[in-house]
Amino acid sequence: MNKIKRYRLQATGYRLQAKKVKSLLLVACGLWLVAFLLGMASKPKPKVYIQKLKNGHYQLMVNRKPYIVKGVCYNPIPIGQNHEYDWWSDANKPWIVDGKLMQEMGINTVRFYQAGQNPEDVKKVIRDLYELYGIRTIIGHWLGFWEYPCPFYGDKDFQDRIKKEVLDMINTYKDEPGILFWVLGNENNYSCLGMVNPWSNEEIDKEPDPIKQKNMRYNIYYSFINELAKQIHSIDITHPVALGNGELIGLEIAAQSCPEVDLVACIIYRGKTFGNLFRSLKATFDKPIVLTEFGADSYDAYKDVEDQNMQAFFLESQWRQLYENLANNKEGIGNCLGGTIFEWTDEWWKHNENDPESWKIHDTDSNWSNGSYYFDIKAKGNKNMNEEWFGITAISQEQEFGIDKRIPRKAYYVLREFWKNPTKNLKPKTKKAK
Amino acid sequence: MKKLLVVLTAAVVVAITPYVFAQEQATKEAEKPQPKEFGVYKDKNARENHYIPSGWMGDYGDIKLNDQSADNPHSGTTSMQFVYSGKKAQGQGWAGVYWQNPANNWGSKKGGFDLTGMTKLTFWARGAKGAEVIQKFKVGGIKGTYPDSAEIEFGPIELTDTWKEYTINLAGRDLSYISAGFCWVTTSDLNPEGATFYLDDIKFEADLVMKAEVKKSEAMPFYVFADSRSINNHYIPSGWMGDYGDIKYDGASKEDPYLGDTCTKIIYTGLGAQGARWAGIYWQNPANNWGTVDAGFDLSKATKLTFWAKGAKGGERIEEFKVGGSMGEFSDSDSASIGPVILNKEWTQYSIDLKGKDMSYIIGGFCWATNVDVNPEGAMFYLDEIKFE
């Protein structure tokens, strides 16, 4: 073999070696890329999150699947007891009977205004509902709204104490598989208007203009919620945080000072229609909404008689509008994620919470007036809202399974049918063609 | 056999004859031309009169009727002369008359006519002097056990001193049961000196050219309140709320109006007459409509509502001024508000921003509300030039 040939062979060998190295490098890069992409793809998404679609609509996602909140507010106070009753530790477990009925109706979510005192009892309820019936839980916190003399949202010590309570709640329940999302407050924004539990501070008191005073209170309150939401997100990335709000009042301020919340959870009593609610929210504070308190009572205060048809009529109409405003419905705004009806069972203590004897009686006196529920608005003093008759399930003094017997009202069956085929039920009712 | 055939044939003929006869009758009925007119009032004692002007309302003591006035009738020998004094005999500030069938039927008796096929109601009217203002004319609207199948309003109208024909469009309306064929209503604010006016030749007509009215978006500016006698006032301050006994309302105050001859003066005593500790007034269309009547205006073109206000002393606090928000079977499409507002002693203009709001259906055109906690000694205040722009 001459030199030239040897060099050629050597060169060929180097080229082959270089080719091999190149190929190996390419394969390695390819493998790294695949591994990287796989790694990206398999990075766990939050279990519950909100997705904004290309058309600007919102969807609640649970385990990567769209989830419509079909819920009820759940506070099963038995006859003869009041709101202080610790039903979470009830040995007869009312949620077992209720959960089965809920599941049969199509309910997938319950809302608790605030967790009970004993975390182990609360976890038991959440697990039973989820494991036995697939029902998920929304847990709220009152944020000291009912504290005496008033909720001092402008006071740092008050804020720190509430913050600790809220974060303790998150840490205690965030790993429960049944948790859907958190709600901060309920109608606490009304305290900024001075309508309920008014509060102030020195700076606000110095301001002579009442409109500016109101806006200062909103700013303080919603900034506090924002801070809470930020802290919750830092310890729990798997559940959204909702701002509880009475109507849409104050949300134009929240849009500036409360961007950290993932959704709003509104209390709305507007009768047959929610009106411009969804469009108005989109325009003022572009966040998705769950109606966490809405519904109708089943007592006609004018005729002084139970009227289950009236309740069913309002509830079906309300659910039709909720569905019209879910994502990907051309007719609606696409910012609705569902709702939780107020409420699952009647509560017999509500008319007069200071009189234990009245807790054993199903009062038919009305507590307040709302013209949106127009069938019985001609009742005396226009008081037509019967606080003890909002359940879609009545309770009876007769005992069954160790608890007050549950008697589903007409609304229960009407909504059960609605949810079986909501698309069909959304269509306007037209006359059959001949 | 032949006998049997004859009997059978006879039986068949007997059996089918009534059927054939009935069929012929039905065909004749269908072919019968539908009436083209249906009279309410033509002349005193005319056979064409189908309704009686028996339903006197509001300040009925302020009304005088001469149903055979020979003073220049539009046609025939008589017309109806109404003299409305505007003296508030019953303290209501308004009055009106319904033409009913039978007389005094407020929906307790079956007396409605099926006027299907009629597409308009026409009538002739004139004022004794001209410029008399009738707040509205109506067809139907009686409630009760036997309610009218429709309620159609028309107005306000400023009359001229010569006869003029007016038309109420009824096309597309359900006229299958109308016990109240016609009605007029007016107020003492609109006619502080009273009004004498004449009506004649009131009738329903089947005019195939009439088309159902499409609700149109109102042009701006659109007044809630301009002046006490203005026909541009579109809402009535009828929705008194809370301690309504604490409110005194003067819709024609001449105490330093901001513009025009009059303004609205409101006195809130804060005495708690009904125990509510708050009070307020909604301006509604029509009066007392809490979402029970389908009568919202389409104010989609409005971007704001402006009004002028002042306190008698300055410092009076109004918790809320509001647009929309009436909730009922027919709810307002949206609402917007400002407040609390502390009034100045001088006229000051305020504005409610309506940008981004759905103003396509508004029954409650304007509202104020306040309470005794922020006005322990009550409040006297004035409003003027309330309008959508």
Separation CA A77–CA A87 (nearest Å): 7
pLDDT 10s digits, B315-343 = 999 999 999 999 888 999 999 999 999 99
pLDDT mean over B369-376 = 96
| Residue in B291, B339, B358 closest to A371 by CB | B291
With 0-12 CB in 10 A as exposed, 13-18 as middle and 19+ as buried, what is B28? exposed
pLDDT tier for residue B20 given thresholds of 50, 70 and 90: very low
Residue A243: half-sphere exposure toward Cβ, Cα within 13 Å: 33
Q: How many CB atoms lie within 10 A of CB B280?
A: 24
Chain A: nearest CA to B9, how far in angstroms? Answer: 38
Beta-carbon contacts below 8 Å between A and B: 53
Q: How many CB atoms lie within 10 A of CB A210?
A: 18
Checking if the pLDDT of B376 tops 70, the result is yes
DSSP for B275-304 reads: S-SEEEEEEESSTT-SS-SS--B--TT-SE
CA distances from A259 to A251, A252, A278, A286, A375 (A): 11, 11, 18, 10, 40
Q: Look at residue A15 and give its three-state secondary structure.
A: helix
pLDDT mean over B234-241 = 94
Peptide bond into A208 cis (omega under 30): no
Separation CA A275–CA B334 (nearest Å): 7
Separation CA B137–CA B156 (nearest Å): 8
Q: Are the beta carbons of A377 and B341 separated by less than 8 Å?
A: no
Chain B residues inside the 8 Å CB shell of A284? 356
| Residue in B291, B317, B356 closest to A374 by CB | B291
Q: Are the beta carbons of B334 and A275 separated by less than 8 Å?
A: yes
Q: Look at residue B228 and give its three-state secondary structure.
A: coil
Q: Are the beta carbons of A211 and B357 separated by less than 8 Å?
A: no
| Residues pairing with A306 in the sheet | A299
With 0-12 CB in 10 A as exposed, 13-18 as middle and 19+ as buried, what is A122? buried
Checking if the pLDDT of B3 tops 80, the result is no
Checking if the pLDDT of B31 tops 70, the result is no
Q: Are the beta carbons of B341 and A211 separated by less than 8 Å?
A: yes
Contact (CB, 8 A) for B58 and B95: yes
Mean residue pLDDT of chain A comes to 90
Indicate the DSSP class of residue B183: E
Separation CA B7–CA B9 (nearest Å): 5
Checking if the pLDDT of B19 tops 80, the result is no
Percent of chain A with pLDDT over 70: 87
pLDDT tier for residue B156 given thresholds of 50, 70 and 90: confident
| Residue in A279, A280, A372 closest to B328 by CB | A372
With 0-12 CB in 10 A as exposed, 13-18 as middle and 19+ as buried, what is A121? middle
Checking if the pLDDT of A240 tops 80, the result is yes
Q: Which two tokens stand for residue B193?
A: 């000196």
A331 compared with A207, residue with greater pLDDT: A207
Chain A residues inside the 8 Å CB shell of B332? 275
Checking if the pLDDT of A16 tops 70, the result is no
pLDDT mean over B170-190 = 95
Mean residue pLDDT of chain B comes to 91
pLDDT value of residue B329: 87
Chain B: nearest CA to A30, how far in angstroms? Answer: 53
Q: Are the beta carbons of B291 and A280 separated by less than 8 Å?
A: no
pLDDT 10s digits, A357-390 = 999 999 999 989 999 999 999 899 889 999 999 9
pLDDT mean over A176-192 = 97
In our burial notation (b when 16+ CB lie closer than 10 A, e otherwise), range B58-85 reads bbeebbeeebebeeebbeeebbbbbebb
Q: Which two tokens stand for residue A402?
A: 């160790």
Q: Are the beta carbons of A276 and B340 separated by less than 8 Å?
A: no
Contact (CB, 8 A) for A152 and A161: no
In whole angstroms, how large is the CA radius of gyration of chain B? 26
pLDDT tier for residue A19 given thresholds of 50, 70 and 90: low
pLDDT 10s digits, A86-124 = 999 999 999 999 999 999 999 999 999 999 999 999 999
Q: Does B144 touch chain A (CB under 8 A)?
A: no
| Residue in B326, B331, B341 closest to A273 by CB | B331
pLDDT mean over B258-276 = 95
pLDDT value of residue B294: 86
pLDDT 10s digits, B197-208 = 999 999 999 999
Written as one letter, the residue type at B303 is T
Q: Are the beta carbons of A377 and B328 separated by less than 8 Å?
A: yes
Q: Are the beta carbons of B356 and A280 separated by less than 8 Å?
A: yes
pLDDT mean over A47-72 = 97
Checking if the pLDDT of A56 tops 70, the result is yes
pLDDT 10s digits, A415-430 = 999 999 887 767 544 3
Chain A: nearest CA to B113, how far in angstroms? Answer: 27
Q: Does B42 touch chain A (CB under 8 A)?
A: no
Q: Does B333 touch chain A (CB under 8 A)?
A: yes
pLDDT value of residue A434: 32
| Residues pairing with B158 in the sheet | B133
Q: Which of B331, B332, B354, B361 best probes binding to A when mutated, by most A CB atoms within 10 angstroms?
A: B331
Contact (CB, 8 A) for B83 and B194: yes
Q: How many CB atoms lie within 10 A of CB B176?
A: 13
pLDDT value of residue A29: 56
pLDDT value of residue A381: 87
| Residue in A272, A276, A284 closest to B358 by CB | A276
* Mean pLDDT lowest among A10-24, A238-252, B90-104, B203-217: A10-24
Q: Are the beta carbons of A372 and B341 separated by less than 8 Å?
A: no
pLDDT value of residue A3: 43
pLDDT 10s digits, A254-277 = 999 999 999 999 999 999 989 899
Checking if the pLDDT of A46 tops 80, the result is no
| Residue in A210, A276, A374 closest to B329 by CB | A374
pLDDT tier for residue A25 given thresholds of 50, 70 and 90: low
pLDDT tier for residue B35 given thresholds of 50, 70 and 90: confident
Task: Name the interface residues of A facing B (CB cutoff 8 Å).
Answer: 208-211, 214, 270-273, 275-276, 279-280, 283-284, 370-372, 374, 377
pLDDT value of residue A11: 47
Q: What are phi and psi of A241, to 5 degrees?
A: -120, 130
pLDDT value of residue A218: 98
CA distances from B303 to A236, B353, B356 (A): 43, 6, 8
Chain B residues inside the 8 Å CB shell of A370? 327
Separation CA A375–CA A302 (nearest Å): 8
- Cα A185 to chain center, whole Å? 11
| Residue in B291, B340, B357 closest to A210 by CB | B340
